[in-house]
Amino acid sequence: MKYLAHAALILLVVSVLFGCSTAPVDAPPEVTRASAENSGGVTSRARTILLPPTPTPHVSPRPLDSARPDAETERQSIQQEKRTTARTTPSATITRASRQPFEGAELYVHLPPQAHSRQPLRIFLALHGMGNRGEAFSQNLIKIAEANNWVLVAPTLPYGDYFDPQQLREDDLTLSRRLVDTLDVLPQRLNLKFYRQVLIYGYSRGAQLGHRFTYFYPERVKSIAVLSAGAYTMPTEQVASGKGTPTIVPFPYGVGDLQECVGKPINWQALKQVSFWVGVGERDNQPNDVARAFDPYGGRTRVERAESFKQALQNLGIKVSLVVFPNVSHELVPEMRARALQFLRDEELADPLDH
């Protein structure tokens, strides 16, 4: 009995000491995904979207004026892009084998207020230069996009070496195809109705891509602002050779072989419906900042090439204006941006429907 009493006492003590451990452990709180599921991928602002609605790397916006990509930055960016960007272009011809729209962290979209009640909407396509990203480049464009009921679309573009004409050719054919694929899928992705024609705002390398996209798909463009492009593809199919016989001007110098590049010749009738605005800084005139291969077609500097481009469009009866900004080098100053945006706004107000 003595031993039984001691055993009972021990059991009583153990049960008292460890009784708290017999309570069930609370399950870890369920991780809620309501914010991602209910917002459609909305990030920092209620109408700012990264597509598709899946977790994507955060891109910290920075004001454009405080980080203007100058010519030296562009040259440095070429080597960085070569190291970090996987080249996927098998040839310099656009094919429709499969769609490859920009999405996820590659694509920044900002919707205006009450977008669903103000359809159809106009897409405002912003194309950045070397060393930049779509989201950062577009921050100074949000206010005007909202004021005009535009859907701001700003992809991050993996440019290669723009000093290499063959690389430039392949890049702009491929990127243009991806841009039009993106425009095609946005209505379904956002569940919104859009006008077919877009407004384009491109700076530097983005200005090059923008006006070439316009050649490839003029029926998809309403107006375009081209700012400080390093080189232009002239709207020329052929020129007379020394012997007087016509010589084809191939892309990217001209548009003489677009049938081979995009599967169709240039649509001159549609192109003549597009309005162009060209801006460049007066001091953006350093020959070493641009590719020498374009010299015979438009001049040696950005200023000379902008003037040649404007004259070539004008000779075809295409509406175009050129503004040279005094004391401005290769930078996107507020006045240049304001004039370009005013042009796009005026064109939209003058004819709010597609051509």
| Amino acid identity for residue 164 in this structure | D
The pLDDT tens digits of the residues spanning 2-21 come to: 444 444 444 443 343 344 33
Task: Report the C-alpha gap between 290 and 300 in whole angstroms.
Answer: 8
pLDDT at 305: 98
Residue 82: its H or E element? helix 71-84
- Nearest partner of 69 among 205, 226, 213, judged by Cα: 205
Residue ranges of domains in the chain, CATH in brackets: 75-350 (3.40.50.1820)
The burial class, CB within 10 Å (0-12 / 13-18 / 19+), for 47 is middle
The CA distance from 125 to 109, in Å, is 10
Q: Which residue has the higher pLDDT, 71 or 167?
A: 167
Instruction: State how far the Cα of 330 lies from the Cα of 133, in Å rounded to an integer.
Output: 18
Checking DSSP bridges between strand 107-110 and strand 150-155, what pairing results, if any?
A: antiparallel
Cα dihedral 162/233/266/198 (nearest 10): 70
Q: Is the C-alpha dihedral spanning 178, 183, 185, 186 positive or negative?
A: positive
CB 162 within 8 A of CB 130: yes
Q: What is the residue whose two structure tokens read 């859907």?
A: 151
Secondary structure letter of residue 159 according to DSSP: -
Residue identified by tokens 């930078």 is: 331
* pTM of this prediction exceeds 0.75: yes
For the stretch 17-47, pLDDT in tens is 344 333 333 333 322 222 222 223 333 343 5
- For residue 171, which of 118, 212, 136, 230 has the smallest C-alpha distance? 212
Indicate the Cα dihedral angle 63, 64, 68, 74, nearest 10°.
Answer: 120
What is the tens place of the pLDDT at every residue in 205-252?
999 999 999 999 999 999 999 999 999 999 999 998 777 789 999 999
298 token code pair: 């438009």
Model pLDDT, residue 96: 53
Which letter does DSSP use for residue 30 in this model?
Answer: P
